[in-house]
Structure 1
Amino acid sequence: MDFAGAYSWPNLSFILQGFGMTLLVAVLSILFSFILGTILGIIRYARIPALSRLLAILIDLLRNLPLLLIIYFAYIVLPNLGIKMTPFWAAITALTLFEGAMISEIVRGGLASIDRGQIEASRSSGLSYIQTMHHIILPQALRRMVPPLVSQFISLLKDTSLAIIISLPEIMHNVQILQGHSPNYVIPALLLASLLYFTVNYTLSIISRRQEAKEI
């Protein structure tokens, strides 16, 4: 093991650049998947005829496919259909679809946990369905959804490492390149990558536990 060589500034900078890419992909995927998952979850909760059933089929399909397969599909199959993407956007697209399907179930479950009597009371007071959802139901449901959402975001951050298969220059990709330079760099580089992953994910888990404690 060559810690000094692995942690020389060029190599250390290379690893940190990879982690920066990991965080960027994770943040954008979290944002897009949360928006997508919220929309899908609300539609499924509303039980719109035909549409809700169709979405349920698509969501179940995405949830039961390996993320690795979805990444391959976004990067290899979509270009054959005229939709060309860089590894960066292919990874974000795949993560957004997969995690959005997961989040939609969290959102639907969170909404379902709120007493439907509140909807009836709000409607009887003159609020529209959209106003009821926006001002009454969603704020309560979101507080209950924070712990499972954070857990899903932690999984998303770890799942970004799967994008190594399409040569996205994220942290594990860069660690692999360092391995090609010298086998003695592998363990130090992996230890640093582990520390970076742990630091971010543990911070998110603390936030989740604190929020869960407030709900108890």
Structure 2
Amino acid sequence: MISIFQNYGGLLLQGFWQTILCSLIALFFALIIGSAFAILEVMPNKLVHVIAKAYIELFRNIPLLVITMFFYVVIPMYVAKISGFASGTIGLTLYSSAFIAETVRSGIQSVDPGQMEGARSNGLTFWQSMRYIVLPQAFKYVIPPLGNQFINLIKNSSVLAFVAGFDLMYQGNVIASDSLQSMSAYMCVGVLYLVITLPLSYYMRHLEKKIAA
């Protein structure tokens, strides 16, 4: 492992930052999109509910790699060329947003319905009630599962390796092929993934305890 870090540290570092960048972008947009569809799913309008449910079920039940390859292979054929990094990030965003939507929806439904009724009776619109009353309470309920989704998102970013996204996994494949030290190369990749996910895991536990207290 030490020799791999010494000889291929630059490639590993490049893959490390690509993985972090992809994960942050996907996390940001997946949280926004997922939260929006979670709200749409609990709206009284039946058509809106059906559309939101269809989006969630679609991306929850299609493999991440299929979604990513659609943007990497199909979209360039008919629309415009997309880089491997962009394809992987878009696929990861859409895939993760569906799971985040279900997580946030469960949090919204855990809030006492009287909170929404009280907000509406005081003159707030549905969206204002969601923003100021319901969502702040809902996110407290879903901190642990959201943390798990964030960690899964980071690990799923390895899908970039299939579309030349130059992430950690991609660089690990390059190093394993070049050095003929597959075990050491992938062990280094695993260690760097732990560098990202372990602090996040411990922070989410700390945040959960802090909110509970």
- Alignment of 1:200 onto 2:192: no
Q: CA deviation at 1:121?
A: 1.3
> How high is the TM-score relative to the length of structure 2?
0.93
Matches within 5 A, 1:68-107: 68-107=65-104
The whole-number CA distance in structure 2 between the counterparts of 1:28 and 1:172 is: 18
- Aligned counterparts of 1:4 and 1:49: Cα–Cα separation in 2: 59
Question: Does structure 2 conserve the Cα–Cα contact (< 8 Å) formed by 1:144 and 1:215?
Answer: no
| % identical aligned pairs | 32
RMSD of aligned residue pairs (Cα, Å) = 1.5
Q: Which amino acid letter does the alignment assign opposite residue 145 of structure 1?
A: V
Count of paired positions: 212
Amino acid at match of 1:162: V
Alignment match of 1:166 (pick from 163, 176, 183): 163
1:125 shift after superposition = 2.3
Partner AA of 1:153 in structure 2: F
Residue 5 in structure 1 maps to residue 3 in structure 2 = yes
Q: Residue 5 of structure 2 aligns to which amino acid in structure 1?
A: Y
Cα distance change of structure 1 residues 130 and 55 upon mapping to structure 2, 3 Å threshold? closer
Distance 2:78 2:36 in 1: 26
Q: 1:28 aligns with which of 1, 13, 25?
A: 25
Q: CA deviation at 1:203?
A: 1.3
More off after superposition, 51-60 vs 62-71: 51-60
Query: Which consecutive unaligned segments of at least 5 residues does structure 1 have?
Result: none
Cα distance per residue 1:1-53 (max 9 Å; x no partner): xx453222x51111111111011101100001111101111111113221210
Residue of structure 1 equivalent to 2:54: 57
Matched, 1:191 2:182: no
Deviations 1:64-99 (A, max 9, x none): 111111111111111223142111111111011101
Q: How far apart are residue 169 of structure 1 and its match?
A: 0.6
Inter-partner Cα distance in structure 2 for 1:115 and 1:5: 57
Instruction: Give the Cα separation in 2 of the matches to 1:47 and 1:64.
Output: 25
2:45 match = 48
Mean CA deviation greater in 198-207 or 95-104: 198-207
Runs of 4+ in 1 over 6 A off after TM superposition: none
TM-score (norm 1): 0.92
Q: Where does the alignment leave 5 or more consecutive residues of structure 2 unmatched?
A: none
The partner residue of 1:121 within 111, 118, 122 is 118
Q: What is the letter of the counterpart of residue 73 of structure 1?
A: F
Conserved in 1, the CA contact under 8 Å of 2:38 and 2:52?
no
Structure-1 separation of matches of 2:143 and 2:80? 34
User: Residues 142 and 4 (structure 1 numbering): CA distance in 2 closer, same or farther, change over 3 Å?
Assistant: closer
Contact 1:45 / 1:108 at 8 angstroms: preserved in 2?
Answer: yes
